[in-house]
């Protein structure tokens, strides 16, 4: 029998790469013993980026979820693993150092064994504290390379980063092939180089199946010396997710490796439970197209897990783009034509903004720049007309050093805007904040929690945590679920869009007869923010507006019109979503 290969079930990422939400704590506790019974896993990815925000979004305490989810796995001798974004911690923007340190203390106490840390820019300075804090609190530090395919992402480039990770004290190296575009032979050579130089280092490979290379990559890295591979299982394997454990086991066993047996009765039980969770509510938020592989991803390099949000962005701006094209007498674009145009624009933009690794949040930034460039082109404006501060922070070096050079056009634009470039340590831009959050909790009479875990949640996810504590999160989620079910019912009953919209309005009027209506001042398409991505969805319920404050925008054939609230108040109901077409006088939202 050949060398032993271990399997890690990426149960968290299976859900994130498929849709919006993760299972509830009761569902996680239900499936944990079945995963144990399968008998083939040495690790399970239990939590990390997005997991805790998702818990908060539907009104559940993520600290309880992590503790109860990890407990039965660890009792069975299975290591639990989390994912963190280095400078960004568990969120999309940078985190102060004292909050980052508290995270490692909390996660160790909650039962996490392994922390996979990554930076999309592969700036090793961003991982130095992650490795330091993991070692300080007795966690296994796995420093990950964000894998992509470009002229600057060479084996020599990656090995320079590995050298720093090992110097900092990392115990493991992860190959995070987030888009699945790493070429198998090159990945094998990289693993071989790492193992030859650092034979004591454990190597774990994580590859999404979106473009179709992942099975070949798994085989190549295992032949070169990898120790652990990430796998998924039905009904959330393949497509934009990860290869299924059954196929990986069969392939590696045939190649002469030692791999554990799979209890197929338990596999089918876990498969059925996962499907039950989808039928309960999670499936309403899963993008069906994420079940499909597409080789188009090899060209643009975008991670498969982004396809759902990307398609939503495309649909949201498609009409605005076509309206601008019509105004100029140009032919409109179909959704497929727009998708290809977006992929081509990503390929154009990516090297010009420094070739960052296309992983959260930098994949979103690059995609957003490309999409807003397409809109700008349709409107007769120059490229890069609509870049927000997050995009500029990446370009200016505030998130870390970009691996590639910036194009002259970007440098000139930054100069025109009076922006300054930064080459210091990114963490220095974000001073400690725990005292502020301790004071906030004391003022509100909130307990910091066991091992200060509640303090950590507030400091890491301030807005979501406050919404959770004050009950808004659960109400918002219940409304989102009701809306999703209505949309599903609409498809079944083949209601016209007008009938469906009228049903929403009637239901809202019954629930809130005293609320003030906000109506469309003109006909066009609703745009909640003049950007794309996370911020392009409707504002959270409970958002406060002054009298005559801007609620959203209407994209018309001649430009954007502001939609203002008639009275000061809070947003209590949203009727028109991002991208919805409205006529003058149509109901958009209620404030109270």
Instruction: List, in sequence order, the alpha helices (H) in 59-178.
Output: 62-75, 97-110, 128-136, 155-168
C-alpha distances in angstroms, 105 versus 72, 99, 100, 139, 444?
20, 10, 9, 9, 24
Q: Report which of 48, 47, 93 is spatially closest to residue 433, judged by C-alpha positions.
A: 93
Q: Is the dihedral of CA 50, 54, 56, 61 positive or negative?
A: negative
CA–CA distance, 554 with 413 (Å, rounded to integer): 28
Q: Report which of 36, 42, 46, 90 is spatially closest to residue 66, judged by C-alpha positions.
A: 46
DSSP, residue by residue, 52-72? HHHHHHTT--HHHHHHHHHHH
Check residue 498 and give its pLDDT. 63
Tokens 């083939």 sit on residue? 40
C-alpha distances in angstroms, 515 versus 206, 568, 571?
49, 12, 9
Q: At what angle do helices 25-38 and 62-75 cross, to 10 degrees?
A: 20
Distance between terminal CA atoms of the chain?
Answer: 69
CA–CA distance, 185 with 309 (Å, rounded to integer): 31
DSSP, residue by residue, 401-451? --SSPBPHHHHHHHHHTT-----S-GGGGS---HHHHHHHHHHHT----GG
Question: What tokens appear for 2 in the block?
Answer: 């050949």
CA–CA distance, 225 with 200 (Å, rounded to integer): 11
CA–CA distance, 76 with 388 (Å, rounded to integer): 47
Give the chain's radius of gyration (CA, Å).
24
- In the DSSP assignment, the letter for residue 244 is B
User: How crowded is residue 592: how many other Cβ atoms within 10 Å of its Cβ?
Assistant: 12
Check residue 402 and give its pLDDT. 94
Residue ranges for the chain with pLDDT beneath 70? 1, 300, 304-316, 490-512, 529-538, 557
User: How crowded is residue 392: how many other Cβ atoms within 10 Å of its Cβ?
Assistant: 17
State whether residue 232 is helix, strand or coil: strand
Check residue 490 and give its pLDDT. 65
Spell out the domains of the chain, with CATH numbers in brackets: 6-290 (3.20.20.70), 296-427 (no CATH), 495-591 (2.40.50.100)
Burial of 58-81, coded b for 16+ CB within 10 Å and e otherwise, reads bbbbbbebbbbbbebbeeeebbbb
DSSP, residue by residue, 327-392? HTTPPP--HHHHHHHHHHHHHHHHHHBT---SSTTHHHHHHHHHHHHHHHHHTTPPTTTT--HHHH
CA–CA distance, 342 with 149 (Å, rounded to integer): 19
Q: At what angle do helices 184-197 and 155-168 cross, to 10 degrees?
A: 40
The CA angle 543-548-549, to the nearest 5 degrees, is 35
Task: Please provide the average confidence, as pLDDT, over all residues in the chain.
Answer: 89
CA–CA distance, 102 with 463 (Å, rounded to integer): 19
CA–CA distance, 348 with 507 (Å, rounded to integer): 46
pTM score, two decimals?
0.81
Reported as a single tens digit per residue, the pLDDT across 386-416 is 888 888 999 999 999 999 999 999 999 999 9
Tokens 């469309």 sit on residue? 520
Q: Which contiguous run of DSSP H or E holds residue 172?
A: strand 172-177
Q: Which contiguous run of DSSP H or E holds residue 559?
A: strand 559-564
Check residue 295 and give its pLDDT. 85
Question: What tokens appear for 212 in the block?
Answer: 């179709």
Check residue 533 and give its pLDDT. 41
């Amino acid at each position: 029998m050949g060398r032993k290969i271990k399997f890690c079930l990426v149960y968290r990422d299976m859900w994130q790469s498929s849709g919006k939400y993760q299972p509830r704590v009761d569902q996680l506790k239900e499936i944990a013993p079945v995963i144990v019974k399968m008998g083939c896993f040495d690790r399970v990815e239990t939590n990390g980026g997005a997991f805790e925000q998702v818990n908060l979004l539907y009104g559940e305490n993520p600290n309880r979820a992590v503790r109860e989810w990890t407990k039965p796995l660890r009792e069975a001798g299975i290591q639990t693993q989390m994912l963190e974004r280095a400078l960004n911690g568990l969120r999309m923007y940078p985190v102060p150092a004292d909050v980052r340190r508290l995270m490692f203390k909390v996660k160790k106490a909650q039962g996490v064994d392994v922390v996979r840390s990554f930076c999309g820019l592969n700036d090793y300075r961003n991982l130095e504290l992650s490795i330091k804090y993991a070692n300080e609190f007795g966690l296994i530090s796995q420093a990950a390379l964000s894998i992509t395919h470009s002229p600057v992402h060479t084996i020599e480039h990656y090995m320079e980063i590995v050298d720093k990770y090992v110097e900092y004290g990392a115990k493991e190296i992860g190959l995070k092939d987030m888009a699945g575009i790493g070429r198998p032979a090159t990945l094998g050579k990289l693993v071989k180089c790492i193992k030859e130089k650092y034979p004591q280092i454990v190597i774990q490979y994580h590859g999404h199946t979106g473009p179709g290379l992942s099975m070949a990559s798994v085989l190549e890295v295992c032949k070169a010396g990898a120790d652990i591979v990430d796998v998924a299982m039905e009904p959330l394997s393949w497509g934009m997710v990860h290869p299924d454990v059954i196929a990986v086991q069969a392939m590696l066993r045939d190649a002469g490796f030692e791999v554990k047996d799979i209890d197929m009765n338990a596999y089918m039980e876990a498969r059925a439970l996962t499907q039950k969770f989808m039928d309960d509510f999670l499936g309403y938020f899963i993008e069906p197209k994420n079940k499909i592989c597409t080789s188009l991803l090899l060209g643009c390099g975008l991670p498969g897990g982004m396809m759902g949000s990307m398609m939503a962005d495309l649909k949201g701006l498609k009409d605005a783009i076509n309206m601008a094209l019509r105004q100029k007498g140009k032919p409109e674009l179909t959704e497929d034509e727009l998708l290809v145009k977006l992929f081509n624009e990503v390929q154009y933009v990516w090297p010009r903004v420094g070739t960052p690794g296309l992983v959260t949040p930098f994949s979103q930034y690059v995609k957003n720049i490309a999409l807003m460039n397409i809109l700008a082109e349709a409107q007769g404006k120059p490229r890069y007309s609509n870049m927000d501060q997050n995009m500029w922070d990446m370009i200016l070096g505030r998130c870390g050093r970009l691996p590639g050079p910036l194009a002259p056009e970007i440098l000139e634009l930054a100069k025109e805007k009076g922006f300054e470039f930064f080459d210091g340590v990114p963490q220095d831009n974000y001073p400690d904040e725990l005292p502020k959050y301790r004071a906030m909790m004391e003022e509100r009479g909130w307990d910091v929690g066991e091992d200060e875990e509640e303090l950590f949640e507030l400091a890491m996810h301030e807005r979501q945590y406050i919404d959770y504590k004050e009950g808004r999160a659960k109400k918002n989620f219940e409304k989102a679920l009701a809306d999703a079910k209505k949309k599903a019912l609409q498809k079944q009953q083949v209601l016209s869009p007008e009938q469906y919209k009228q049903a929403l309005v009637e239901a809202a009027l019954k629930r809130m007869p005293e609320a003030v209506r906000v109506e469309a001042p003109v006909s066009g398409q609703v745009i909640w923010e003049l950007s794309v991505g996370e911020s392009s969805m409707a504002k959270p319920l409970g958002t406060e507006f002054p009298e005559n404050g801007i609620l959203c925008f209407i994209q018309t054939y001649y430009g954007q019109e502001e939609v203002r609230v008639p009275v000061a108040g809070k947003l209590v109901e949203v009727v028109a979503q991002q991208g919805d077409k409205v006529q003058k006088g149509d109901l958009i939202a209620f404030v109270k």
